[in-house]
Amino acid sequence: MSKENVEVNLEKLSGKVFVGRANGQAARKYFRLNKYSEKDNRILFLVPKDTISVNSSFFLGLFGEDVQRIGDFDKFFEYVDIRFVDDRFKDQLEVAVKRSLSKSSYGI
Amino acid sequence: MGRFVEYDVIPCAGINVKFRKNLDEFYRAHRTPRHLKRLRKRQALLRRKAHFNSQSDSDGLVFKEEFSYAKVIVGADGLPPWSATSRRSKSPCEIKLPKKFSIIDDPQSCLEALQSFRPVFENVRIPGVLINHQSTREHDLASEILLAKVAKNCMELHRSKGRSFVIDGQYPESERLCRLIRSIGIVKELEVEGHTIDGDANEHEKLVIFKRRSSTEDESSVGSMDYKTKATQDFVEHIDCCLQEAGSQLKDTAKQDLAEYVGEIVTNAQEHSGTGHWQIFGYLDKDNEDRVCEVVIFNYGDTIADTFKRLPQEDFARTDLNRYLSQHKEKGILGAEWEADTLTTLFALQGSVSSKNQPTNSTRGHGTVSLIEFFQTISEGNESDLSNRARMCILSGEEHIRFDGKYRLNEDSGRPIIAFNQKNDLRQAPDRKYVRKLNNVAFPGTLIAIQFILPETATEEIEA
């Protein structure tokens, strides 16, 4: 069964900077992301060209629940497709997800 | 006590001047030049008092709150705000600033110098202060901002009590430092006539400071930008604008890095301070060949250690911290050499550590890592050049952590760790030169300051 594509385009929000977990959570509500799941959907994440920054806190506010639920780096990015996102943002978003999933005890 | 209250009733033109509040009516009824002059003077005093006691100033920050925090900085908290019975002093109080007036490099001397304001907060009969910058050889933006804030609050206090208050000062010898003080320091903050750098004639000399503060009505929304988003966006555009005047601009990657840095700190300040208030200051010295840039972001309210101390012992966010502290206690590091607040502040910098993490959502705790990473990126390549080395500090309450590139984040074990020791091992004690507790001085909240030279790799020339 093919998955339904859902577009999450930041163009629909205002501003060139996307910062803050609370703003990310507000955007999650706006895009109704709780309705979707990795079983039935694929999220296409799009960032407008004139964007200055997509901060990791915003991205984790937007998709933190999915990161936590899926619990796997590759599977998460199968669900949230960021291939059309500019490289300068992509690296930071991948690092944020990787760090959220890392489990260690700080050597203590 | 004013002389009018000594009389029960002063009958005059049918007005009973039994209370001070009836004075205005009394003056108006008489209308002699002398009485009208008194009336104007009294009304000006009432306006100043009303401003001092008002809930918010024009910029929206609670003025009284800032005044109370200024008192904490000078060590006058807990004392009565002023005393009319104190002995009158004819000479101003001298505030001698240290050679290194820097929150980043020498917070102890810097905050001790600010504590020299204490007598002026206690006694409104001291006619003013003399701020002596003459010995100062080095300073930073954070120290100048705190000096200006303390002096301004001090002046407001004296004026609200109807006392004149003169702030006099002596510039440092260095021309560059003078320019900074006139552009961004106390002289600018107090708008000292004839000294601030303003106007087209001095445009080439002007060093434009960026400043924003939070709004009390700030809420997250999708349809419009909140204050922290706007401040972050404006700051990046401000730095870009300064560069464009000199024929270059920030690369897109540098904009992203700068916005990540500023945005994460401001978000942390808003979410963890307990007050939700933050302030940001910054500048790029475009006329300096080295393109020196400074950013200061601070919030009053809870310190980093406070936010963790308030959590219940069994809270999810405290699990790793408790293990860390008990290890240091067993080794005898905690207690004898280190205090819990200092080590808590250090631990809070590690990746995935956040007082708001929960078992169901533990994706927080990357903001501080982002700021350290930004610092590491812009300090790369100039580690050997001591004079041009990028520097940063986190000052939270009495705890001070300094960064100069010597100790770096390491992610080999999964989570980003910076332990401030040679082995980057959190089980060992940190370097006391970099992680320390200040002695009898404190900042009532958290302040992050960074001073760096904008690297060539962050900018590109504008094509004609």
Enter the ipTM.
Answer: 0.88
**Nearest residue of chain A to residue B374 (CA atoms):** A92
Check B366 against A25: CB less than 8 A apart: no
Contact present, B86 and B123 (Cβ < 8 Å) = yes
Residues facing residue B132 across a β-bridge: B96, B170
Task: Please report residues of A whose CB lies closer than 8 A to that of B364.
Answer: 21, 60
Contact present, B264 and A55 (Cβ < 8 Å) = yes
Amino acid at B170: Q
Contact present, B364 and B355 (Cβ < 8 Å) = no
Check B229 against A15: CB less than 8 A apart: yes
Distance from CA of B271 to the nearest CA of A (A): 9
Q: Which residues contact B413 (CB under 8 A, 6 or more apart)?
A: A104, A106, A107
**Nearest residue of chain A to residue B220 (CA atoms):** A23
* Distance from C-alpha of B351 to C-alpha of B366, rounded to nearest angstrom: 6
Contact present, B249 and B462 (Cβ < 8 Å) = yes
Q: Does B32 touch chain A (CB under 8 A)?
A: no
Q: Residue B51: what pLDDT?
A: 67
Burial, B252: exposed, middle or buried (Cβ in 10 Å; 0-12, 13-18, 19+)? middle
Distance from CA of B196 to the nearest CA of A (A): 33
Interface residue of B235, B249, B256 to substitute, partner A, most A CBs within 10 Å = B256
Q: Residue B38: what pLDDT?
A: 81
Distance from CA of B463 to the nearest CA of A (A): 19
- Mean pLDDT, residues A79-103: 91
Strands B391-397 and B399-403: antiparallel
Q: Residue A42: what pLDDT?
A: 96
Q: Residue B188: what pLDDT?
A: 67
Tokens of B217: 């009505």
Contact present, B132 and B98 (Cβ < 8 Å) = no
- Mean pLDDT, residues A2-28: 91
Q: Residue B445: what pLDDT?
A: 94
Amino acid at B154: C
* Distance from C-alpha of B464 to C-alpha of B224, rounded to nearest angstrom: 35
Q: Residue B360: what pLDDT?
A: 65
- Using CA atoms, how far residue B270 sits from B54, B118, B327, in Å, is 23, 29, 32
Burial, B310: exposed, middle or buried (Cβ in 10 Å; 0-12, 13-18, 19+)? exposed
Check A57 against B267: CB less than 8 A apart: yes
Check B220 against A26: CB less than 8 A apart: yes
- Mean pLDDT, residues A52-56: 92
Residue among B271, B179, B173 nearest B228 (CA): B271
* Distance from C-alpha of B290 to C-alpha of B284, rounded to nearest angstrom: 10
Q: Does B430 touch chain A (CB under 8 A)?
A: no
Q: Taking the mean position of all CA atoms in its chain, how far away is CA A108?
A: 31
Q: Residue B424: what pLDDT?
A: 93
Q: Does B336 touch chain A (CB under 8 A)?
A: no
**Range from A3-7, A60-64, B163-167, B294-298 carrying the lowest mean pLDDT:** B163-167
| Residue A89 clears pLDDT 60, i.e. is over it | yes
Give the 3-state secondary structure of chain B.
Answer: CCHHHHCCCCEECCEECCCHHHHHHHHHHHCCHHHHHHHHHHHHHHHHHHHHHCCCCCCCCCHHHHHHHHHHHHCCCCCCCCCCCCCCCCCCEEEECCCEECCCCCHHHHHHHHHHHHHHHHCCCCCEEEEECCCCCEECHHHHHHHHHHHHHHHHHHHHCCCCCEEEEECCCCHHHHHHHHHHCHHHHCCCCCCCCCCHHHHHHCCCCEEEECCCCCCCCCCCCCHHHHHHHHHHHHHHHHHHHCCEEECHHHHHHHHHHHHHHHHHHHHHCCCCCCEEEEEECCCCCCCEEEEEEEEECCCHHHHHHCCCCCCHHHHHHHHHHHHHHHCCCECCCECHHHHHHHHCCCCCCCCCCECCECCCCCHHHHHHHHHHHHHCCCCCCCCCCCEEEEEEECEEEEECCCCCCECCCCCCECCCCCCCCCCCCCCCCCEEECCCCCEEEEEEEEEEECCHHHEEECCC
3-state secondary structure of B300: strand
Distance from CA of B270 to the nearest CA of A (A): 10
Q: Residue B80: what pLDDT?
A: 60
Task: Please report residues of B whose CB lies closer than 8 A to that of A29.
Answer: 222
Residues of chain B with pLDDT under 50: 1-13, 55, 57-60, 197-201, 203
Q: Residue B269: what pLDDT?
A: 84
3-state secondary structure of A2: coil
Amino acid at B346: L
- Using CA atoms, how far residue A73 sits from A2, A56, A99, B458, in Å, is 22, 15, 10, 30
Check A108 against B236: CB less than 8 A apart: no
Out of B225, B367, B415, closest to residue A57 by CB:
B367
Quickly state the pLDDT bin for A50 (edges 50, 70, 90): very high
Tokens of B1: 């006590």
Q: Does B47 touch chain A (CB under 8 A)?
A: no
Q: Which of residues 356-385 of B touch A (CB under 8 A)?
A: 360-364, 366-367, 369-370
**How many other CB atoms are there within 10 angstroms of residue A81's CB atom?**
16
The whole-model pTM stands at 0.85
* Lookup result for tokens 């100033």: B57
Contact present, B52 and B42 (Cβ < 8 Å) = no
Amino acid at B257: D
Contact present, B307 and B268 (Cβ < 8 Å) = no
Q: Which of residues 261-300 of B touch A (CB under 8 A)?
A: 263-264, 266-267, 270-271
Distance from CA of A10 to the nearest CA of B (A): 10
* Distance from C-alpha of B318 to C-alpha of A17, rounded to nearest angstrom: 32
Check A99 against B366: CB less than 8 A apart: yes
Check A52 against B256: CB less than 8 A apart: yes
